[in-house]
Amino acid sequence: MAYDQARQSFQSGQFEPALGHIDRAIARFPKESSYQLLRGRILHEMTRIDESRDAFQAAVDLDPKKPEPYYFLGIVYQRWRENDKAL
């Protein structure tokens, strides 16, 4: 339920509430990579880029076969002009 609330808040541009919801979801299900991915996207929209990178990396660590976290990590590294890491 908290994950769904986080997604809804994120999609409507309400990033602070979205972050609170996703943090509650992660506290309950810490090994769910899609939760870390959403957390990273929320933080990225809030321009909390360092924290978003950490969340994207956590998503990769939890499920290295999913491509989405790598994509968003690439965006972070490109933003930092670390193009070698963006690949």
Task: State the Cα–Cα distance between residues 15 and 73, nearest whole angstrom.
Answer: 19
Task: State the Cα–Cα distance between residues 80 and 65, nearest whole angstrom.
Answer: 25
Q: Which domain holds residue 68?
A: 2-86
For the domain that residue 81 is a member of, what is the CATH number? 1.25.40.10
Cut 0.75: pTM above it: yes
Domains identified in the chain, total number: 1
pLDDT in tens, 3-52: 999 999 999 999 999 999 999 999 999 999 999 999 999 999 999 999 99
Q: Please check whether residue 74 is in contact with residue 44, taking contact to mean a CB–CB distance below 8 angstroms.
A: no
Q: How far is CA 36 from CA 40, 67, 82, 84, 87, in A?
A: 6, 13, 22, 24, 21
